[in-house]
Amino acid sequence: MGKSESDPSEPSGTKTAPIIIQSENSSFNAGIVLNETNYDVWCQMMEMHIAEKEKLSFIRGKTAPPTEKDASYDKWYTDNQRVKRWLLMSMSPEIMKRYIRLPTAREIWKALSKAFYDGADELQVFTLNQRAFSAKQDGRTLSIYYGELIEIFGELDHRNKVSMECEKDVELYRKSIERQRVHIFLAGLDCEFDHIRGDILRKDPIPELEECYSLVRRESVRLATMKGEPEKPEASALVSRNRSTQHKSNWYPNQQDRTGSNHFKSTASANKSTYRCAHCDQSGHTKSRCFELVGYPDWWDHNRDPRKKNSHKNSTSAVVESKAEQDIEKKGSALVATAGHPNKADDWLWC
């Protein structure tokens, strides 16, 4: 059989990666949907995506739209409808209904700006400054705390646009704002960063905000590493000495510690617990001191152990019977000693 000829346009043993060409008619996804609260972020995202498609002039209105008689009108109308669709498809259904009838993308963009953009509204600036000065780490991770501040500072920069002609004044103003934000960041840190906070404030000039965050982050990593270290040798030696002292005190029960407590009591109690009665099989005493045999004292609480209560009755009866038997034996001995044995030949048995 003959070998099949391979396609000369494709080199043997090699594969070419597919080339994907994305046209202007491809789907447009801004990654965010406009609602009543996120216009500031939405407009920035939309502007970036539209600029990427090279259609920014359709929302900024730099060029006037051509008339319907113009030869370029069809091309302009198609592009305008495309940008208009991008805007409308990135809105919530409730907001989309308000602007779908507007003829151009430029008019939609202007209407949204009037409805949602508050510009340099003094209330918004006041709220942002209040959030910045009251922000605290409060046990959160350093990344979350720093990210919150950066978001607030970005919104303030967006609203506080100071116009200065002298470049030197602009630089001085920027450094003043940066210094204030470093102070805000350091003031909100948890107390575990007191040491690194003092080191940063002693630097001259004071580092910028990003550098301060880097220094504090490294300190955070160091502290986390220190918390995960094993027990220090000094602590182990201290525990060993304490155990040795406790062991000696058990061998010498009569000695007292610095607080004046007597170890003899605890040692005697421990030794006493090793006793076990051969009669009642209870620990803490021997048979010679068993209350069931010698009788319970008056102070004994018989309600705490019903078994011992019954034993008390039995032991009392046993004591009474024992005393009765002893009395009978004494009386019998006295009688025999007086009258003698009935059988005179057996008197020797009673001697």
| E-state strands within 157-245 | none
Residue 122's pLDDT is 83
Largest CA distance in the chain: 169
In a domain, 6, yes or no: no
Mean pLDDT of 66-83: 92
In a domain, 165, yes or no: yes
Which amino acid, residue 55? Answer: K
- Looking at the structure, do residues 147 and 205 belong to the same domain, yes or no? yes
In a domain, 247, yes or no: no
CB-based contacts of 25-30 (< 8 A; 24+ apart in sequence): 25/82, 28/53, 28/85, 28/86, 28/89, 28/90, 30/86, 30/90
Domain holding 192, by residue range, is: 122-226
Residue 158's pLDDT is 83
Residue 192's pLDDT is 94
This prediction has a pTM of 0.50
Lowest mean pLDDT among 18-32, 98-112, 223-237, 275-289: 18-32
- Looking at the structure, do residues 85 and 59 belong to the same domain, yes or no? yes
pLDDT digits over 134-165, tens only?
Answer: 999 999 999 999 999 999 999 898 888 777 78
- Looking at the structure, do residues 170 and 186 belong to the same domain, yes or no? yes
Among residues 90, 116, 142, the one where a domain terminates is 116
In a domain, 253, yes or no: no
- Looking at the structure, do residues 95 and 156 belong to the same domain, yes or no? no
Mean pLDDT of 118-126: 77
Counting Cα atoms < 13 Å in the Cβ hemisphere of 41 gives 11
Residue 289's pLDDT is 80
In a domain, 275, yes or no: no
Residue 290's pLDDT is 84
DSSP line for 190-211: -GGGHHHHHHHHTSSSPPPHHH
Residue 84, pLDDT > 80, answer yes
Residue 348 or residue 89, greater confidence: 89
What total of structural domains would you count in the chain?
A: 3
Confidence label for 3 from pLDDT (cuts 50, 70 and 90): very low
Residue 194, pLDDT > 90, answer yes
pLDDT digits over 295-329, tens only?
Answer: 877 777 766 655 554 545 555 555 555 555 566 55
**How far is 144 from 188, CA to CA, in rounded Å?**
12
Residue 236's pLDDT is 47
Residue 209, pLDDT > 60, answer yes
